[in-house]
Amino acid sequence: MKDLFTCLALTAVCLAFAPPAGAEIREADVTGGRVAGVPSGGIVSFKGIPFAAPPVRSLRWKAPQAVEPWSGVKQANAYGASCMQDANFARIFNTPAGISEDCLYLNVWTPAKAPADKLPVMVWIYGGGFVGGMTSVPDYDGTHLAEKGVVLVSVAYRLGVFGFLADPALSREAKTSGNYGLEDMIAGLQWVKANIAKFGGDPSRVTIFGESAGGIAVSMLTASPAAKGLFQGAISESGGNFGPARVGNEGGVNMVTLKSAEASGHAFLAKLGASDLKAARALDAEKIQSALGPGLQGGFWPVFDGNILPGDQYELYQSGRFNDTPVLIGTNSDEGALFAQPGITKAKFEAQIREGYGKGADAILAAYPHSTDAEAAQSAMDVFRETAFAWPTWAWATLQSQKGHGKAYVYYFDHRTPQSPPKGATHASEIVFVFHNLGGTVLGTNVKIQVRPEDTAMADLMSTYWTNFAKTADPNGKGLPAWPAFTSGDQRVMFFDTHSSARPAPNMTQIKAVDGYYAWRRAEAKAQKTN
């Protein structure tokens, strides 16, 4: 009888401390104060949580500072404002139009019932050419990924001139300049490490993932000493940063040295009439933004600053100086279609290649058909696909498999929809399948996208692979087509199409030609340093 009473007492204690059926984490104490989320269907979302002080006035062009504490319970029920950018981006992405310098906020979606659940964490970094983008894009809603057993976080970061301006005076002030947007991402990851356990997430199982500029940023974070230990896995969709620094008008090269970035940044501030940093920080944000021009213009991009980004990432990987984690990376079949230039002819294509690719031009021209204007137009798009996305992804996978302990998994997205261009899947078209957010609208319109059974099946497949990777560092799982790790000897990639399966990497003739070009550029840069 005594044993029975003891058992009943222990049971009562356990029930008293166990979360009730259907329990959710609706409030949490985080850095700065307490936040309250919004429950819906077993997922609680927390939107607009500040992770750093507003980077305004004297904090403009400075590393993110400590968040300002608040009193009471902050209702985390709405996204923060988008960082400064061309307002047309909000229209294109069908997002709220609020834009402000005060934009360093993040969002959390959690399925956890209690902090002790310790679920894997996925941190999303949006794309937009480093000049646009926001966490509030409907396609980035984290509900459906959270339903698969992960805590989903999305982080805002400064863009354009606000995120990536370098200047000699700024460098003297902080020993470097030009990578504030990347520092925002790192501050967001530091916030995750310090706070995500309150939402049922495991700070020792964090996977960063992003697309386009977000994917490039993921690549940069894998080579940044400042991000060491803040994540244990990396997913990059159409992004990688493995080319050398640009010194002139080299084709396929975006990164610049700190010295070059300082010169262009100083010239920009002079154009605005700012005589010193105090004057520059006193300018209205709207005046600075309007001076950049519309869309993807502006010319501000992350910088090889020797600190956040030590230098040529290809060389860093070759020497083993990178944050070694498993990676899942890939590209889409017709990435270049979104960036097509009008009026490309055979003669214009050949002239552009010879002007930008120097001694590598002959190999590039031999690999890309251009005997007619139509062929030249397609090849111009394909050169962009390879230099901006496919080669960096292949180089990354090769280096990771050779120099790292974490495995590399590579994909090739070729799922066709009625909205796809005729040649394949365009840039960013995989995002809705990864997030399982189908049925949205065509970018920049109110036209509803019709969802077919094959689209739902693709979303099921991709979102499962992605969350499996976050959980186990391996996308494979029961009932899924086998996805082998990429190695130098086995360069199979997972094709996402009507018969999703692992097959030899595509477009290798073109990728090898581009690889030879970058090797020549790198050798030229070394020769110039020694002379």
Residues marked as catalytic: 212, 335, 427
Q: How many CA atoms lie within 13 A of 26 on its CB side?
A: 9
Q: Which of 94, 128, 163, 84 is nearest to 338 (CA)?
A: 128
Residue 43 has phi, psi (to 5 degrees) of -115, 135
DSSP H or E run through 203: strand 201-211
What CA–CA distance (Å, rounded) separates 210 from 216? 8
CB 252 within 8 A of CB 245: no
Q: Extract the tokens encoding 275.
A: 């005589």
Partnered with residue 155 across adjacent β-strands are: 106, 125
Q: Around Cβ 229, how many Cβ atoms within 10 Å? A: 10
Q: How far apart are CA 530 and CA 513, in angstroms?
A: 26
Q: Is 215 exposed, middle or buried (0-12, 13-18, 19+ CB in 10 A)?
A: buried
Beta bridge partners of 413: 332, 496
Q: Is 377 helix (H, G, I), strand (E, B) or coil?
A: helix
Cα distances (angstroms) measured from residue 141 to each of 40, 115, 119, 509: 13, 22, 18, 38
Helix orientation angle between 391-403 and 508-530, rounded to the nearest 10 degrees: 70
Compute the C-alpha angle 496/500/505, nearest 5°: 65
Are 205 and 151 a contacting pair, CB within 8 Å?
no
Tokens of 375: 């062929």
Q: Are strands 408-413 and 38-40 parallel, antiparallel or unpaired?
A: unpaired
Q: Which residues of 96-115 are buried (b: 16+ CB within 10 A; e: fewer)?
A: eeebebebbbbbbbbbbbeb
DSSP single-letter state for residue 389 = I
Residues pairing with 303 in the sheet: 256
Beta carbons within 10 angstroms of residue 431's beta carbon: 21
What span, in angstroms and rounded, lies between the C-alpha atoms of 44 and 21? 15
Angstrom distance (rounded) from CA 384 to CA 335: 8
Paired strand residues for 256: 303
